[in-house]
Amino acid sequence: MRPKIYLFGDSITEMSFEHGGWGASLVNHFNRTVDVVLRGYSGYNTRWGLKVLDKVFAGSSESESVLAVTVFFGANDASVEDRCSAFQHVPIEEYKQNLHSIVSFLKGRWPTTEVILISPPPIDEPTRLLCPFTENKSGLPERTNEAAGNYAKACLAVAAECGVSAIDLWTRMQQIPGWQTACLSDGLHLTQTGNKIVFEEVVEALKKKGFSLETLPVDLPVIFDIDPNDPLKSFQGI
């Protein structure tokens, strides 16, 4: 029975199976070793995520083998509180508390599971003005890169306090020349390049904890190990 990796988060998780998406890339990478389970909820912040936590993992049990859970919130929490996406805003202190509660829930159910907190990505403000989710007549973007950076720092702080892994996507993506359009499709969501970065960072975070294609058991004999002269030998005792 393969262990699972749950992907829990907002639209950047929900959309992670579009072409070149980081979720699909994880399934492809771990295709004979792990089951990847999508639990992405567009538009959600940590306040709403916390409200639905029991329901999100209702089908799972303590006996389930859960290798890891990615927790990827903050892009909505960091919406500016008096602009057009204010209804998604969560104050930064509450954001931290909510992340703490989510980690506690996951660690309570699966004590040995790797929890990986992923920070919000950077924001390209001029592009956000062209792509609002709700009507925006203010001339001001509903998200700012500075706010996203503050929530990213808060996310890393929670990870350190809880002793779990973290991916600082906000900093990592801004290392890419022209990250505004190279990594982001609408100033917020990810291009294929942006998705590739998340995929590689998750693989790396798992590797640091000892989980990789080199260490994970493979589900059933692989074709390269099957003897062409006696294929059924590989299936004895299965």
Which residue numbers are catalytic?
A: 11, 186, 189
Q: Phi/psi of residue 35, each to 5°?
A: -100, 125
83, 138 contact by CB (below 8 A): yes
Residues from 36 through 55 that contact a second copy (CB under 8 A): 37-38, 40-44, 47-48, 51-52, 54-55
Draw the binding track, 145-164, toward a second copy (x: CB under 8 A; -: no contact): --------------------
Which part of the chain contacts a second copy (CB under 8 A), choosing from 16-24, 113-121, 172-180, 197-205? 16-24
Using CB atoms within 10 Å of the CB of residue 193, give its burial: 0 to 12 exposed, 13 to 18 middle, 19+ buried: middle
Member of 108, 139, 214, 232 binding a second copy (CB under 8 A): 232
Using CB atoms within 10 Å of the CB of residue 63, give its burial: 0 to 12 exposed, 13 to 18 middle, 19+ buried: exposed
For residue 95, the SS3 value is helix
180 CB neighbour count, 10 Å cutoff: 18
Point out which residues bind a second copy (CB under 8 A): 1-2, 14-15, 17-21, 23-25, 27-28, 31-32, 35, 37-38, 40-44, 47-48, 51-52, 54-56, 58-59, 87-88, 133-134, 220, 222-223, 226, 228-229, 231-232, 235, 238
